[in-house]
Amino acid sequence: MFEGFSIGDLPVGDERVHVRHGGAGPAVLLLHGHPRTGSTWHRVAPLLVEAGFTVVCPDLRGYGRSTSPPPSPDHRAHSKRAAAGDLLGVMTALGHERFHLVGHDRGSYVALRMALDHEERIDRLVLIDCIPISEHLARADARFATEWWHWFFFAQPEIPERVINADPDAWYRGDPETMGAENHAEWLRAIRDPTVVRAMLEDYRAGLTVDRADELADRAARRRLQLPLLVLWSLRDDLEQLYGDPSVIWRNWADDVTGRGIDSGHHVAEEAPGELARAIGEFLSVRR
């Protein structure tokens, strides 16, 4: 995977971020979702390099081989603001003061927080398979609770750690043919590490508490994104079934929104890398 990329750990504050980066041209930061690592982009990243971009693929705070502090009672240590701070440090260390930003699943929430707090550093934003956490919770009904029950299970203290760590392979279920053998092997190492599992669960606990509170504070302050936003969603996932066109919801948060679906299941970077890379590349190449 990632032939020609530089791979290593960068110190950021008291933590280390595992990162792959390569290519030449405008920088784009790709943020993965749960329970993946930065290797989920192994089919997309080379296509974006071919399209003329510098591509940066980190592991999120506590995921994969990136470290994180111990959990805090208020979950701030694993908040999207803390994770975004790590990644801003990575981009600064790599010499990218401005860059494009792409987030999928949990990585999309980190990307949203980064864009709201540091829009001056971001040129264009792509968010995949998501609406804001607070928008999900405002619409939480029996169907949402049935389909997305894992949000509330993961938020429970200690119980999900015991359940998942008893048999992480069976809990998460991954297919090496679909994922790619090396990506699958890296993913297995991550989910079999109880420290990583704890950090991934803390991500969800932060989501229902401090991250939601931060989003509500944004809304109360009438903060909106001014930068161009592309919203993409997997047509064989359930986001459109729950809410219709997700880009309609995003227009409450941003002034310049476009969006469309991609024929894929949830892990779109692995299942439909060509279509995803084209959509990202075309959007990021548009000049203002």
Which residues does the annotation mark as catalytic? 105, 266
Nearest to 286 by CA among 246, 229, 225: 229
CA nearest to 127, candidates 135, 140, 182 = 135
Pseudo-torsion of CA 192, 195, 197, 199, nearest 10°?
-150
Neighbours of 170 (CB within 10 A): 8
Strand 15-23 relative to strand 6-12, pairing: antiparallel
Distances (CA, A) of 113 to 31, 83, 85, 231: 12, 9, 10, 15
Cα atoms found within 13 Å of the Cα of residue 270, Cβ hemisphere only: 23
CB distance 256 to 244 below 8 Å: no
